Structure 1
């Protein structure tokens, strides 16, 4: 029995051979592991740069799996190959060719109002039509290429017995514009306006590019006159300043045009009728502060010198306000403003404020229009309030007349500014910048502000403003400026980007 147990405890020859082979394989694996890791690392690095099956000399010895046989290298026959998904290309950025204008005009008024339209219309570039109430008289022909092509508005016999058919004609013009352009896939926006309005089309393209033109959008500006909004609606775009419709909304509105005009036959306002028709489609206006109805009278320099931080897109009623520049008629003043707009619409009318601390001066510039010097340090929160140089659209008893805060001219030398207006513009190639010059409008006649140190600005005749030649693309805040020098009769200011957290006061 002892002998049997000893024989059981002793390993047999097969077990000894298996153990020796196992130990030998383990030793070889430990010895070759760095080499295997190195080969695999090189393979993976090379494989990351190519889609080809690579082989290395001797790799079949180290690891046959690195070189699969043709049978294992091909995909199984029953594997479903998914089709390639086509990624839809992003739409091209909005440009002027995506916009079409419908301008409503009068044949009698066109003789002098055409100057407003021709100041911004770009022949063979801007798209749109002028809709006249009757065919042009012989003295208006041949029709100039500098004006929009004209069409005659539809007669609308169904509404011919109404005392005021003009509002229906203006609303129906939306459908007529679409009829003229046809079912064009590239069209994105329809802008309706009056023949005494000025549009700044570069700014309009930039503003509209931020909207999705494939959805329903109704964009416009309110009236500056409080009672106009009260009488008609606070929730509508005013058409003289431009009612902007995305193409899908314009098509939907055109499709229901006759029904809607019948529903609201009792209304005598084109803007209010348009608002109601669009509301029935389920869309409300998106107010935009750069669209200006200009329901004001008189001198609007105070209004234009304190423009909100929004690119200006339109100015209406140039036919009823005073010329916006001294010593110029309405057309000359319009063309003069457009010389600045042609150089840089993105900064046009944008207000910038900076200070000469040693003189206790505040300087406010409305780019391309006006500049002001106050003989006192005043924060931007005050200087952004328009001076009430204008009067309301209608003089009716009301404690509040405007949709914005105003400040009265005080007659105080510490509160009323020295006024300067845009006179000239020069592009400087060596500095890649633009210099706009603002010349004094006339003597202020108030004497110096004694409480701030008796630093009179009466000697200053002009202000030069240096600005970049590059277009301004971000309008989340105003730009800042520095007073470069004040020598003799001239002051120099330079625009710059505001520093993070900078306070203008």
Structure 2
């Protein structure tokens, strides 16, 4: 029994040892697994999360994020010592103003919406072969090859008919179609009135693209193109318009009509009206065989169409004789558009060798420098000498003894004669005044002799020289301008927007006046009236 108990004890002991080994061996394996799980949970997983967050915040993978946002995101996830340079860059980026918004692109205007320019006007010039050699010099003054469109309509071919217009510096030559089928019964007129009256219709039928206005004139009509463009741009070419001016002669207007645009002064017909005229004009001409000229035939057709004359004072028929000083020296407050009948008027500048050369001085200088201001009047006073000064910019300056009111100075003086020479001052269609109410107040005239642009000061400089003619004796104590003043300089800034504002005369200021025995010149500044400024008597 003792032997059996010992063996049993030994077996039990071995079993316990084996069980303990198994228990301790299992505990060791569990500890290792727990360590790996902890390492994965607390070390690897946060690193992966941080990695994906940084990648997601980068600009390459998320273009919507701004650079400032990326820097801020990186700063939130940094656990190391703060970076001073990074903090400074953050402060600088936060304090800098936001970038300006990109400029908004202006919508491009269509061809129909574009403002009216020279390219939208086509000219029709009525001419005759017999007068062409002298009259074409007037056309060369204002015609601009390559920039303008138009035709000279002849009764028969001339030399330029066979040449390219680019070589001649003139519009293309066209020969009017036959008008023998139309009746003409006026005893004192010419059948050429029939073909000239059809120029607008014939030009319309050519089908030129982009034409908004058809402008009619004679071969001795001189246009100021920029001023014409401004006038026509005020009207809608898609509506029927008939724009021009009657005669300066009251008698002429009574014979023809105050509602008629005189053709020599030029007139404009909108495209809408030209289209209607072309449809009915041939029939209209058959109904008025007894009329005298071309412009009254056009007027008769306008009356049938029911379109009245839109009057503009810048178109000048110039039914006058003699010196145009009175008309241009007190021009209406409106752009000068045309001049006509130049062969019946004295040269614009008396000292020039010919009428065309006289106008060339005007076009090469003032018209080129500031077309809008040509012949625009300003009135001011030299109080030291008690002189009245009237500036017709680019043309002439008149200096008068004593003080004459602006109301009197803006009235044209009768330096010319009526188209009907025996008619008196009541035969004009506008107000006039005598050249001088008394001998001492006959104006001293200074005509423009030169002009230039001072680009440093951005002003035009026009110089005027005294026209030396004999003046009547005068006993006034007021100084005689002819004895003290030889030349005048006028300074003026170009003002292309002059007629985009309400009509108003410019103001002038006498900057310096002659001193006895020393300086014999005067300097005048002309420009937009300042606040509270006016021509105070």
Of stretches 107-116 and 153-162 in structure 1, the one that deviates more from structure 2 is 153-162
User: Paired residue for 1:152?
Assistant: 175
| Residues 208 and 139 (structure 1), Cα distance of their counterparts in 2 relative to 1, 3 Å cut | closer
The within-5 A match list for 1:281-292 is 281-292=305-316
Which structure has the larger Rg? Answer: 2
Cα displacement (A) at 1:445: 2.6
Give the TM-score taking structure 1 as reference length.
Answer: 0.78
Give the TM-score taking structure 2 as reference length.
Answer: 0.74
Cα displacement (A) at 1:414: 3.7
CA RMSD of aligned residues (A): 2.3
User: Paired residue for 1:135?
Assistant: 157
User: Paired residue for 1:478?
Assistant: 505
| Preserved CA contact (<8 Å) 1:360 1:455 | no
Distance 1:147 1:347 in 2: 26
User: Paired residue for 1:126?
Assistant: 148
Q: 1:274 aligns with which of 298, 303, 311?
A: 298
Structure 1 residues 17-54: Cα deviation after superposition (integer angstroms, max 9, x where no partner):
xxxxxxxxxxxxxxxxxxxxxxxxxxxxxxxxxxxxxx
User: Paired residue for 2:250?
Assistant: 226
More helix by share: 2
| Preserved CA contact (<8 Å) 2:373 2:495 | no
User: Paired residue for 1:404?
Assistant: 430
The within-5 A match list for 1:60-209 is 91-137=113-159, 144-159=167-182, 164-180=190-206, 182=207, 184=209, 186-209=210-233
| Residues 485 and 183 (structure 1), Cα distance of their counterparts in 2 relative to 1, 3 Å cut | closer
The within-5 A match list for 1:376-415 is 376-397=402-423, 400-410=426-436, 412-415=438-441
| Residues 349 and 497 (structure 1), Cα distance of their counterparts in 2 relative to 1, 3 Å cut | same
Name the SS of the counterpart of 1:157 in structure 2. Answer: coil
Cα displacement (A) at 1:447: 4.8
Distance 2:317 2:213 in 1: 20
The answer to whether 1:308 aligns with 2:332 is yes
Q: 1:237 aligns with which of 244, 252, 261?
A: 261
Distance 2:151 2:422 in 1: 37
Distance 2:288 2:185 in 1: 13
| Preserved CA contact (<8 Å) 1:194 1:239 | yes
Structure 1 residues 447-474: Cα deviation after superposition (integer angstroms, max 9, x where no partner):
55626x4464522111110000232233
Distance 2:160 2:306 in 1: 45
Unaligned runs of 5+ residues in structure 2 are 1-106
Distance 2:531 2:259 in 1: 35
User: Paired residue for 1:299?
Assistant: 323
Structure 1 residues 349-378: Cα deviation after superposition (integer angstroms, max 9, x where no partner):
101111111211111111111111111111
The answer to whether 1:263 aligns with 2:263 is no
| Residues 466 and 308 (structure 1), Cα distance of their counterparts in 2 relative to 1, 3 Å cut | same
| Preserved CA contact (<8 Å) 1:375 1:413 | no
User: Paired residue for 1:460?
Assistant: 485
Of stretches 228-237 and 380-389 in structure 1, the one that deviates more from structure 2 is 380-389
Corresponding residue pairs, total: 417
